[in-house]
Amino acid sequence: MANILVFDSGMGGLTIYREIRRALPAHHYFYCFDNANFPYGELSEPALIAACSRLVTTMVSRHHIDLVVIACNTASTICLPALRAALDIPVVGVVPAIKPAAAQTRNGCIGLLATPGTVSRHYTHELIAQFAPGKRVLLKGTTELVIEAEHKLAGLPVNMALLQEVLADWLEGESVPDTLVLGCTHFPLLNEEIQQLMPQCQLIDSGRAVAKRVAWLLASGMNSAFVSVPSNEGMAKAYCTRLDETAQKLRAPLQAWGLSSLEEVRV
Ligand code: DGL
């Protein structure tokens, strides 16, 4: 079975891990979140590349990882070249699902909800130019909603007034997207709340596409040992970079997501 590392700054990567594990339950999962450097959307690009590279390469060598998933748009849109150069195993990234959104919009207006980091990236602007020519793509970068998603996962109520404030100019008026790209892996955690405010809008995230890509890599590009999958479930553990009081409280929610333990990883 393959050892799969799923990596994010916080709890958002769970939305990607959920889809991969659902599709490929027999493999072993290492869910690592860099809470010491959270939120990634506010970090400078050099700081983000350094933190992400150090942590991912450490986890890969310590746990004999076979495949890495950077379950974070903010990191993927800037760190993938450095990680692929440093590692000799497949590194799968998660980037905003602009292409399917462009195919599915009916009114030609797409909202991209992501972090401040992701909406400012050259990579993101290239994605839009390449895959959504002729569409109106409205960008919104928000760290507040990343924090709301963390709160929700920890069992706290979502601040609907704040959500409404952030989404205000997409709720009515001239710029109402009919398709919303959740370009941050934290945001599918807020699916219900966003859909409550934008009932007519279709929400698109990258979870299933990433799971398909991982399945394809394991089946075709790699050792045939990963192909014959037994029916048993593999193990799944969580790692963080700071096991403080807030992180300790995540043990129960992480267990509910199938992650049996939480340890601190020192880099
Ligand atoms: N979950 C991340 C993303 O997909 C990053 C959130 C953050 O740490 O700012 O972009």
The DSSP secondary-structure symbol of 225 reads: G
Rounded distance from Cα 135 to ligand 1 centre (Å): 25
pLDDT of residue 230: 60
pLDDT of residue 44: 97
Nearest CA among 240, 80, 72 for reference residue 146:
72
Taking residues 127-155, what's their average pLDDT?
Answer: 98
Mutation test residue for ligand 1: of 184, 187, 240, the one with most atoms within 8 Å of CB: 184
pLDDT class of 43 with cuts at 50, 70, 90: very high
pTM above 0.75, yes or no: yes
Pair 72, 40: CB distance under 8 Å: yes
Q: Any known ligand binding at 34?
A: no
3-state secondary structure (DSSP) of residue 64: coil
From the CB of 12, is ligand 1 less than 6 Å away? yes
Taking residues 221-245, what's their average pLDDT?
Answer: 80
C-alpha span between 16 and 24 (Å, rounded): 12
From the CB of 6, is ligand 1 less than 6 Å away? no
Domains and CATH numbers, the chain: 3-95+207-264 (3.40.50.1860), 98-204 (3.40.50.1860)
Taking residues 140-147, what's their average pLDDT?
Answer: 98
Selected catalytic residue, list 52, 79, 184, 201 = 184
Rounded distance from Cα 102 to ligand 1 centre (Å): 23
Name the residue at shortest CA distance from atom 2 of ligand 1: 72
From the CB of 77, is ligand 1 less than 6 Å away? no
From the CB of 121, is ligand 1 less than 6 Å away? no
Q: Quick one: what percent of the chain has pLDDT higher than 90? A: 94
pLDDT class of 46 with cuts at 50, 70, 90: very high
Taking residues 250-254, what's their average pLDDT?
Answer: 98
Q: In DSSP terms, which residues pair with 162 in a beta bridge? A: none
Taking residues 130-152, what's their average pLDDT?
Answer: 98
pLDDT at 226 over 70: no
When the pLDDT of each residue in the chain is averaged and rounded to a whole number, the result is: 96
pLDDT at 25 over 70: yes
pLDDT of residue 173: 85
pLDDT class of 220 with cuts at 50, 70, 90: confident
pLDDT class of 258 with cuts at 50, 70, 90: very high
CA distances from 30 to 3, 58, 100, 164, 267 (A): 7, 13, 29, 35, 16
C-alpha span between 179 and 111 (Å, rounded): 6
pLDDT of residue 221: 65
Tokens of 168: 């205000």
C-alpha span between 170 and 173 (Å, rounded): 8
How does DSSP assign 3-39, residue by residue? Answer: EEEEEESSSTTHHHHHHHHHH-TTSEEEEEE-GGG--
Q: CA torsion angle for 96, 23, 15, 171 (degrees, to 10)?
A: 60
pLDDT at 231 over 70: no
CA distances from 8 to 33, 93, 115, 199, 255 (A): 5, 11, 13, 29, 17
Pair 87, 5: CB distance under 8 Å: no
pLDDT class of 229 with cuts at 50, 70, 90: low
40 Rama sector, left if φ>0, alpha if ψ -120 to 50, beta otherwise: alpha
Q: What is the pLDDT of residues 169-192, one digit of tens each?
A: 999 988 899 999 999 999 999 999
Q: CA torsion angle for 224, 8, 91, 76 (degrees, to 10)?
A: 150
pLDDT at 106 over 70: yes
C-alpha span between 185 and 61 (Å, rounded): 25
Atom number of ligand 1 nearest to Cα 143 = 9
pLDDT at 228 over 60: no
Is 32 an annotated catalytic residue? no
pLDDT at 223 over 60: no
Taking residues 239-267, what's their average pLDDT?
Answer: 97
